[in-house]
Amino acid sequence: MKKNLFEMGAKFDDNWHSDNKQKPKKQTTTETKAPNKHSLTIAKEKRRGKTVTIIKEFFIQKNELKSLLKNLKKSLGCGGTVKENTLEFQGDIADRIREELVKREFRFKK
């Protein structure tokens, strides 16, 4: 009698699994920097006819980045998300975001 009827004749050696839902976890090693040591850039993109404002590259912990996003969304009155080490906001609001981040002592490239 076989152990699993769905694996008839199949041999899963060398760390192969019949479950294809197991994905390797990405290892993210981010160094943390103080806000005044950042050198951020602002970019704008058009996605499906709408403008998205992107601020990159943050060097802070993921939970701190999420709380920063939450505070910025509340003060700016717009939607946004965290993707990797960047913040994406809905709309063309680059000037307002720059002002808010400068108040929080972040620096930008010229």
Cβ pair 92, 56 in contact under 8 A: no
> What's the confidence (pLDDT) of residue 51?
95
Contact, 71 vs 96, CB < 8 A? no
Nearest to 82 by CA among 54, 107, 59, 47: 54
User: How many Cβ atoms from other residues are within 10 Å of residue 99's Cβ?
Assistant: 12
**CA–CA dist 97, 110 (Å, integer):** 15
pLDDT at 38: 82
Residue 63's pLDDT is what? 92
pTM over 0.75: no
pLDDT means per 10 residues in the chain (110 residues)?
Answer: 56 60 60 83 93 92 93 95 93 94 88
